[in-house]
Homo-oligomer: A and B are copies of this chain.
Amino acid sequence: MAIISGGFSCSAFRLALPSCSAPSSRLSVSRTRSSGLSASMNSGDEQRARLMEFPYVSGPHRDLMVELLSSVETRLGSSLRPCNLPPDVRHFGHPAGTAYASIQLRPGRPSSQIDFILGGWIHCKFPSGGALNITSLSGYLNSSTDAPNFRLELIQSIPTSLVLVLDLTPRKDLILHPDHLKTYYEDTQLDRYRQRLHALPEVSPYISPSLYVRAAVSPTAILVSIDVGAGETTAIEEIIQDHVGPVAKELLQFWMESCACTERCVGKAERAYLAERDRLIKNKTIELDLGSSFPRLFGQDVADRVLTVLTEHYKK
């Protein structure tokens, strides 16, 4: 849920967002489905189950997201507090039934290096048919470590094309801190993951229209468009299963072991620097990305409700 370190980058990636202001008769099934969203779903387990359904994506896409979120729970669960978002912020939709979302935000325990982990999905139906689906997992660390954050997004608006954002976003200026570049990006040979995906003929670089996104990603960031073409035999799902999935799982594993769970020695001045840089990144996320796309997707009232709560977590 960020333009930088994870989230639903609708505006940052300038996806073709439909106007969601008018209800459509085509959406009655989903409307029914959403009618109980803000009602009695108070149990944490139930809410988690609803998130993990990823009901609007299927096959390898869904399997990958479930596997990634489960990996986080297994490896980092003891370092995380339960999600304490109100039910109507965990699951919400446009009143007209045109868009739905489910998110889970688990803050790190004070003894951990984790600020919070955010996972979720957005589904938005296009008036002309088709839909935008975004699935996302982000990990933000706190200022007790200078290790990078984690960010994964799969953004799909047509069946034959997918935008993938997968990055360990740096938390320091890599020019002023060349040791940081060396430690996390050069010595680790992180670029091999990007190279692996770029070697596929269906993959091309994706250049975000947001200059801020371009400035914030790491030099090994995977920002790619995967296009199979209507007549091709290779489906997007196959590429997720054979290529995107293995890369995403390896990168998440690396991030959890070497970033989230490896202790770093960070001095007082450096902590202040990290805290300030993190604050700016999270502010930008709320202001530029979510603040711009959520009202369009979910209507102003719902967006206000959700953003008010998320802002507390992002800006604290």
Contact = CB atoms under 8 A, between A and B. Distances in A.
Interface string A193-204: 000001000000
Contacts of A67: none
Given A175-B173, A280-B178, A211 B219 contact: yes
Interface string A269-298: 000000011001100100000000000000
Contacts of A178: 212, 280, 284
A285 to B, nearest CB: 12
23 contacts: A173-B173, A173-B175, A173-B176, A173-B277, A174-B212, A174-B215, A175-B216, A175-B277, A175-B280, A176-B276, A176-B280, A178-B280, A181-B211, A181-B215, A186-B211, A191-B211, A205-B205, A211-B219, A211-B220, A212-B219, A214-B219, A215-B218, A215-B219
Nearest to A171: B175
Given A175-B173, A207-B205, A281-B175, A181 B276 contact: no
A254 interface: no
Give the contact-size bracket for chain A.
20 to 34
A281 B215 CA distance: 17
Nearest to A170: B215
Copies assembled: 2
Nearest to A283: B178
B205 A175 contact: no
A185 interface: yes
A219 B208 CA distance: 10
A163 to B, nearest CB: 15
Given A176-B277, A178-B284, 13 more contacts: A173-B173, A173-B176, A173-B277, A175-B280, A176-B276, A176-B280, A178-B280, A181-B215, A185-B211, A186-B211, A205-B205, A211-B220, A215-B219
Contacts of A175: 173, 215-216, 277, 280-281
Interface string A106-122: 00000000000000000
Interface string A151-174: 000000000000000000000011
Nearest to A180: B215
A276 B175 CA distance: 10
A148 to B, nearest CB: 13
